[in-house]
């Protein structure tokens, strides 16, 4: 989960000044010396946070820095996609179909969650779909190793240290009694990818079994996410925003959060919903978002959009969650086309791309129709081989190239 957390300066100072007193668990020969020094010094912070020496030694036994975490922390090319590309990868017919199936499967539980926390069930389902494709890839990396790799150097050291303390406290409480805690390269865990700090603050025991199991119990993860969004002041019964049509006089100069105004004032300027309907609450404040300029789709975003952004502080992510939620609910796709003419691949085409990449010798894991980081890396290699811009984005042209090879 992408919500920003702040590490305490005193904890960091304690780690630097008081960290010489305890022996470091023995690591493999040739382990990174700087990492070993960090683990040794960080014990003071962990002890101050209530972590026992036994838990600390167990957590770090045999660990070395994870080069995959270092690589991903330094460079994530998929984040450079324009909004149109991001939406196409995120809001797929596969996720829409699976979201509708899960809505039926968990209807009773979602009824109860919605009643208790007031958060739109389709937004919860969309976050589940966005984060782990409904539990099909929750991450298999050792959370302690990932977070300690982030914590000891790099651009996210402060985040890593804060989350590492929380993860160690989870271990101290026996949250995951057998084996290491598993999650993503940045320490996000479970069906809806909670980072450790937010697990401790917001995870709930929805089924009353004495556990807060976001790994093996999807409903518990959905309820925990509902609790999180509710605590971020989700407004019950309201949407995230509206796709709109702009009059000629309204352009980029009106966009941005600083230019927010009541929907009544937007309507007075001639801004209309694309479906022709009225804005239901003219007093709601909204700001204009133009993800790809004046020629692409335009949106008026209200308070709940910013609540979604506390989960991941990117407009593209929150727009994808909102749109996927609406599509699972049964709403149509955005009315306005993207200016670059990119179209989404069908479910069958995505499966075919993955089959052809495997036939080409690419290691992408399984064939699931989800064009994740491994599939996009394989596409980048193909693009390099063909002398094309290596952005890793799957297009009909990529499929044509693979068919020609096959």
Q: Is the predicted pLDDT of residue 3 greater than 70, yes or no?
A: no
Mean pLDDT over each residue of the chain, to the nearest integer:
89
Q: Does residue 281 lie within any of the structural domains?
A: no
Q: Does residue 15 lie within any of the structural domains?
A: yes
Q: Does residue 400 lie within any of the structural domains?
A: yes
State CA 226 to chain mean position distance: 15
What residue numbers bound the domain in which 385 lies?
347-405
Query: Dihedral of CA 189/192/195/197: which sign?
Result: negative
State CA 343 to chain mean position distance: 23
Q: Does residue 56 lie within any of the structural domains?
A: yes
pLDDT more than 70, % of the chain? 91
pLDDT of residue 27: 42
Which residues sit opposite 262 in a β-bridge? 285
The CB density around residue 206, as the number of other CB atoms within 10 Å, is 21
* Cα–Cα nearest to 46, from 60, 66, 62: 60
Q: Does residue 218 lie within any of the structural domains?
A: no
> pLDDT-based confidence at 268, cuts 50/70/90?
very high
| Torsion of the alpha carbons at 391, 145, 228 and 12, rounded to the nearest 10 | -110
Give 147-161 pLDDT, tens digit per residue: 999 999 878 899 999
Q: Is the predicted pLDDT of residue 134 greater than 70, yes or no?
A: yes
Give 28-37 pLDDT, tens digit per residue: 434 488 999 9
CA–CA separation, 130 vs 134, rounded Å?
8
List phi, psi (to 5°) of 285: -85, 145
Q: Look at phi and psi of residue 223 and say left if phi exceeds 0, alpha if psi is from -120 to 50, else beta.
A: alpha
pLDDT of residue 7: 36
End residue of a domain, out of 126, 159, 181: 181
User: Span 295-323, mean pLDDT?
Assistant: 96
pLDDT of residue 366: 81
Long-range contacts of 234-239 (CB under 8 A, 24+ apart): 234/117, 234/118, 234/119, 234/304, 234/307, 235/303, 235/304, 235/307, 236/118, 236/119, 237/118, 238/281, 238/284, 238/302, 238/303, 238/304, 239/302, 239/304, 239/322
Residues 176 and 167: beta-carbon distance below 8 Å: no
pLDDT of residue 22: 35
pLDDT of residue 76: 60
User: Span 41-69, mean pLDDT?
Assistant: 95
Considering only CA atoms, give the Rg of the chain: 23
End residue of a domain, out of 163, 181, 199: 181
Q: Does residue 33 lie within any of the structural domains?
A: yes
pTM for the whole thing?
0.85
State CA 106 to chain mean position distance: 22
pLDDT of residue 13: 29
Q: Look at phi and psi of residue 8 and say left if phi exceeds 0, alpha if psi is from -120 to 50, else beta.
A: beta
Start-to-end CA span in the chain (Å): 39
Q: Does residue 190 lie within any of the structural domains?
A: no
User: Span 208-233, mean pLDDT?
Assistant: 96
Residues 293 and 275: beta-carbon distance below 8 Å: no
Instruction: Please give the order of strands across the beta sheet that includes 272-273.
Output: 261-262, 285-289, 298-301, 241-245, 272-273
CA–CA separation, 317 vs 300, rounded Å?
16
Q: Is the predicted pLDDT of residue 250 greater than 70, yes or no?
A: yes
User: Span 351-364, mean pLDDT?
Assistant: 92
CA–CA separation, 113 vs 98, rounded Å?
19
pLDDT more than 90, % of the chain? 73
The CATH number of residue 388's host domain is: 1.10.101
Q: Does residue 338 lie within any of the structural domains?
A: no
User: Span 297-311, mean pLDDT?
Assistant: 97
The CB density around residue 236, as the number of other CB atoms within 10 Å, is 11
Q: Is the predicted pLDDT of residue 79 greater than 80, yes or no?
A: no
**Total domain count, the chain:** 2
Q: For the purposes of burial, counting CB atoms within 10 Å of the CB of 286, is it exposed (0-12), middle (13-18) or buried (19 or more)?
A: buried
> pLDDT-based confidence at 180, cuts 50/70/90?
confident
End residue of a domain, out of 126, 161, 181: 181
């Amino acid at each position: 989960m992408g919500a920003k957390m702040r590490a305490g300066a005193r904890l960091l100072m304690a780690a630097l000044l008081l960290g010489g007193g305890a022996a470091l668990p023995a690591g493999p020969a040739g382990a990174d010396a700087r990492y070993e020094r960090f683990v040794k010094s960080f014990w003071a912070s962990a002890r101050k946070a209530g972590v026992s020496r036994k838990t600390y030694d167990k957590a770090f036994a045999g660990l070395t820095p994870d080069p995959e975490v270092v690589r991903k922390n330094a460079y994530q090319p998929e984040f450079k996609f324009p909004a149109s590309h991001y939406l196409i990868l995120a809001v797929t017919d596969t996720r829409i179909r699976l979201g509708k199936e899960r809505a039926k499967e968990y209807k009773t539980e979602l009824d109860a969650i919605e009643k208790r926390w007031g958060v739109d069930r389709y937004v919860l389902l969309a976050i589940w779909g966005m984060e782990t494709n409904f539990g099909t890839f929750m991450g298999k990396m050792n959370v302690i190793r990932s977070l300690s790799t982030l914590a000891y150097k790099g651009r996210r050291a402060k985040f890593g240290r804060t989350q590492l303390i929380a993860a160690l406290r989870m271990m101290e409480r026996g949250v995951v009694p057998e084996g290491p805690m598993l999650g993503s390269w940045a320490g996000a865990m479970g069906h809806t990818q909670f980072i450790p700090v937010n697990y401790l603050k917001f995870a709930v025991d929805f089924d009353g079994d004495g556990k807060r199991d976001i790994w093996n119990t999807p409903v518990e993860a959905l309820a925990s996410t509902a609790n999180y969004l509710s605590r971020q002041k989700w407004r019950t019964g309201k949407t995230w925003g509206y796709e709109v049509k702009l009059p000629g006089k309204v352009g980029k100069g009106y966009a941005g959060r600083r230019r927010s105004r009541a929907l009544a004032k937007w309507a007075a300027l001639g801004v209309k919903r694309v479906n022709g309907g009225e804005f239901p609450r003219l007093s709601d404040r909204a700001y204009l978002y133009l993800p790809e300029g004046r020629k692409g789709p335009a949106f008026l975003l209200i308070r709940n959009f910013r609540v979604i952004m506390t989960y991941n502080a990117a407009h593209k992510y929150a727009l994808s969650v909102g749109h996927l939620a609406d599509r699972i609910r049964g709403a149509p796709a955005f009315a306005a086309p993207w200016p670059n003419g990119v179209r989404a691949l069908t479910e069958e085409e995505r499966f075919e791309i993955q089959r052809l990449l495997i036939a080409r010798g690419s290691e992408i894991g399984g064939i699931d129709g989800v064009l994740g980081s491994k599939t996009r890396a394989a596409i980048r290699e193909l693009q390099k081989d063909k002398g094309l811009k290596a952005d890793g984005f799957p297009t009909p042209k990529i499929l044509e190239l693979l068919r020609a090879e096959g």
